[in-house]
Structure 1
């Protein structure tokens, strides 16, 4: 079973460069670290940032909690079973956002090309910087030092010629680490990695590649682009590019979220009637993503249900209700109801389901108008 959580975005500004120097900076166990910083009694203890309850999910876990297998997006009740001694702390997103702004201010001293991915991580294009530091590595070191001094928190960073490599690198020496992949090292660095390290290769795709005796990036590269395209179409071409370390996507400093979504591909195809528990679980994850976006002052109005049939046909149904969903449960109810608009045979099987929120508007303007939108659907 593979789960993907993501946001679709539109880029409003991008600066292409011939040879980029990209940083990916990722705060270490951010929410939990803020809690431990602000409450010394929590330091060195397994901290889980989440509300208790069967319907709650983990927002973050300290490294002490992670040793027990606790991870973000995990149901809180499972985290409690894995680590009975965990200290549960309800999230305080306002406080996390304040710290995130401090970190963003540090980034902006070095470059204006900053692409935030969430409150705790961002890409930076430091091909040219404001500080005149001699290298991207020196810039990463300066940023990490400033974060430590000004926030009393730690961050890990990756330095590479492109975004996807920088993101892999930032995870290489976590926590509180720095890893550099230089252009001439790219192919050798990637070769021994498991194919699951490549962006977009989830558990289901990894299993399909394993069936082809592809386990590492070197194995994938050896198949060649023609065979990969024959098997996987355009995605096969992208897989080949990634195996070669090619990623031309620029850092996009001004982007708007179009949709927050979560998807689940099943090990065994299911009927429409069997999807409800999966829809409700994905609604929790999507709602958590929406709440992070709401911290930036934007909320979604439209509920989206995505389905993929056993023969790979993709279906989507959406609804813009007169009153927008106010909770994960309301989102789940609406997404489940959208199944009624799927005019297919009852015996039809589905291999994937997704729950999304789209139609983002500014919270201030929405509040001024109130819930006056008439219901829409398509």
Structure 2
């Protein structure tokens, strides 16, 4: 879960929802000259175009502020269309996304990566009305990824139920044992879960990410009770039941997720951002120190999306694919050094120098992975 992420995205736009539902793969209609330029600063979010046609969209972001920022595109129904995190001061990045329905949206810049951000309304028009030819290889990739995401949700419920049952029994040791395994499927597919907007703040918010007046629920509230407070209260037992209810809601809604080849590619990049921001820093699992379990799940989820898109990406950008193969292998090798039994070492035992090494290999993968969406959209 991203630190200090808004629990309820308030999208002012009030028209049609994003429709990236099918695996239909258009050739990119987003030329460099047509790119939307977003200039972010500490107090502004300037957008070069507030109206553009549906289809593949290229967004060129420049951060002229003094703070790390992130850029989101939100649809009218609170869904995240696309996002890019960790855009450092004085740096630029390019985002390729797919928006297939006309309507009102918003672009948000979040200096300091906090809150709802500075928002600009945008309008997506109907385009030229021409039918785009489907790419069967990308249709297949989307279909297989849908199966994968649903499978992860399906497998999460029984694992989470074991965790919840241990909490309700007041069995501290058993609950600790089942905590990390209950999160694996979620961590593998987190960008899809977060796209719904309202589920993530219920199940995966950290204490420092709570909005004013928001009740703290979900995994991390229970994590604090187990490892920091070292006791299970009656409230925690109720929260265990609530966690299962919220995850069941997630499981039911996964099948309606908006998935395209570019959203798969961007989601893979988002998972690497999750590793860099929250796992390597130790912020995510600050009480249990099970960050390396989450780290592995994030990498596995990113690699799954990449492998499904790889046949098409290799035709469009073979050098990029070769580099991604190399860097995924490097990240997995680096992670293997911290295995212990069936799991990983407690992350509080990983020193500053080793954390820096992990950070370096993640960054080496993150940079080429940011180019995957553009490769599959060619």
TM-score (norm 2): 0.24
Q: Which structure features the higher share of helix residues?
A: 2
Question: Which structure has the bigger radius of gyration?
Answer: 1
TM-score, normalised relative to structure 1: 0.24
